[in-house]
Amino acid sequence: MEFLSRRRKLNTNSQTEAYGHALQFYGQPPLENISLSEFETFAVDRLKLLKTIENLGVSYVKQSDQYIKKLESESKMLNFPYRSDMDDRKSQSGPSEYEKRRKDHISHFILRLAYCQTEDLRRWFIQQEVDLFRYRFNDLQPKQKLEFLHRNNLQYDTIGVEEKKTLLDKLVNSSYAVSGITVEDQDFYKVPFQDALDLVRMRKVYLKAGYVYIPHQDIVTIVLNDFRTRLSKALALTARSLPAVHSDERLQPLLNHLSHAYVGQDYSIQKNVGKISLEQIDSLSGKSFPLCMRQLHQALRDNHHLRHGGRMQYGLFLKGIGLSLEQALQFWRSEFIRGKVDADKFDKAYAYSIRHMFGKEGKRTDYTPYSCMKVILSNPPSQGDHHGCPFRHSDPELLKQKLQFYKVSPSGISQILELVKGMHYQLACQKYFELTHNVEDANFSLNHPNQYFIESQKLLGGGKDIKREIDTPQRSQENSAARGSTAAREAAASQNLVEMTEELDSFFQDA
């Protein structure tokens, strides 16, 4: 992609060919020239859209009416495609549908550059893009879905009326949420079974002679798997081109800033040190710890030991709420020596890892407390472990017992288990927050255990201190943005870059 002060216009035929369809797999990168200003605007707007998708995903059930309505509203406000046709391409007010699709295409590839750098960034970017793709695919008409499949070499065809009648009983018995009446009204796709192994494994489809028959509401599973695979491979290839991109002094500051923006608040900054005493931890664990940290604290008190995964997850959380290195060493030592570890063994085998966690040993990396996504998606617990997300990794019956032990009401437990069944783990944790704090609506989108703690302390009357804790990382982000802007100016980047990064800072501090 080249970036010049003026964009070369494509002729009408090529425009129609490139953006004549409502949805794409982003297989071909854009080849036109765009201005640096347009580059910046497109990148920030798409990041706002993806951040909205992340927040909606932990506030509402995905694909629910509220979720779809709010995502459509945000897409419209940011001038991204939000309808599956091009009826408004001649609109006199605002950009045409073609221009929205062009923006969608280019902005996707810009964020690939920013989010291909690390595994965490790739994981976050893929998840939000997959959710956006699902929303758009489900909005297509049946004919458009079939056209999309064929256009992308997914040669799946719908079965005819006669074949549907012949297989009626089989389709009803094997397909979830399908009855004899609904079979007549919906399309079924005939797909090679190797392309639908997840559905076969879950026994959600009828299998015959090497083909599965998939109801239209489930074909999205196949398409999403294909999209996720393609995007994952594409990000790996993009990472190889990073040295050439970073050599452009105009782009590097913006791309670096974009790649850090999704994280939101930085809970690793130790400006709230000393606000939590060791004597308060037991009390706080019952009032303000999320369930994942509460179970780790309880396991530590019961067993006087945690394995490495638990020590990392809980230790970084405690660091984030304000424990100093000295307090952390005292806390872990006092607990471990109550078990089978004496003080000498603790100093030799465990103290180093705690200092390492605080950036005082090894590479001097100042580790960040784990986000909900990291806890849910990485390093699942095995037998004898206590880390992980209890809503994701606990057996439903065991989770029910834990919630009963913590005096969650039977109706509340049912609501939580229903969310867990639908794999809405962060929503389940947010519901746990509302039930244990006796509030109707938490009024925030939960994505971090330390965020849970801060919001709990606000609600319980700790607002003043917590406010200072929140302000500090924001000031650090602003200082970081200022340093990035200075570097950009020194590299002869435009003043517009400074304005855009400041706008980005403002958005994510408020998000």
Assess if residue 244 is contained within a domain. Answer: no
167 and 287 fall within a common domain: no
**Cα 481 → chain centroid:** 23
Residue 190 β-bridge partners: 157, 213
Look at residue 490 in the predicted model and tell me its pLDDT. 39
The answer on 334 and 450 residing in a single domain is yes
Which residues make Cβ contacts (< 8 Å) with residue 77, sequence separation at least 6? none
- Return the pLDDT at 177: 62
**Residue 292 is assigned to a ligand binding site:** yes
Residues 319 and 458 placed together within one structural domain of the fold? yes
Judgement on whether residues 286 and 421 belong to the same structural domain of the protein: yes
CA 271 to chain centre: 27
**Domain count for the chain:** 2
Q: List the single range of 85-94, 290-299, 417-426 with lowest mean pLDDT.
A: 85-94
Give the least confident one: 62-71, 166-175, 312-321, 345-354. 166-175
The residues, ordered by sequence, that sit 6+ positions from 416 with a Cβ below 8 Å of its Cβ are: 391, 399, 403, 408, 428, 431, 432, 435
**Alpha-carbon gap, residue 468 to 465, rounded angstroms:** 5
Is residue 116 a known part of a binding site?
no
Are the C-beta atoms of residues 271 and 347 closer than 8 Å to each other? Answer: no
Q: Interior CA angle at 252 toward 250 and 258, to 5°?
A: 115
Whether 112 and 242 have beta carbons less than 8 Å apart is answered as no
Query: 493 lies in a domain?
Result: no
Q: Mean per-residue pLDDT for 86-104?
A: 73
| pLDDT band, very low/low/confident/very high, at 471 (cuts 50, 70, 90) | very low
Determine, yes or no, domain membership for 80.
Answer: no
Say if 199 falls within a structural domain: yes
What's the pLDDT tens digit per position in 16-27? 566 788 789 999
Whether 108 is in a domain gets the answer no
Question: Which of 34-48, 91-105, 220-234 has the weakest average pLDDT?
Answer: 91-105
Same domain, 441 and 304: yes
First to last CA, the chain: 31
Structural domain span for residue 156: 150-222
Answer whether residue 115 is part of any domain: no
Mark whether 394 and 328 lie in a shared domain. Answer: yes
Let me know whether 288 and 207 are in one domain: no
User: What is the Rg, in whole angstroms, of the alpha carbon atoms belonging to the chain?
Assistant: 26
Residue 276 CA from chain centroid, whole number: 30
Q: Which two tokens stand for residue 216?
A: 């239209």
Domain-ending residue, one of 464, 487, 502: 464
Strand order in the sheet with 206-208: 157-158, 188-192, 211-215, 206-208
Q: What is the pLDDT of residues 118-152, one digit of tens each?
A: 887 888 899 999 999 999 998 988 888 888 888 88
Distance CA 373, CA 132 (A): 17
Residue pair 384/304 in contact (Cβ under 8 Å)? The answer is no
Residues 211 and 284 in one domain: no
pLDDT band at 265 (very low <50, low <70, confident <90, very high): low
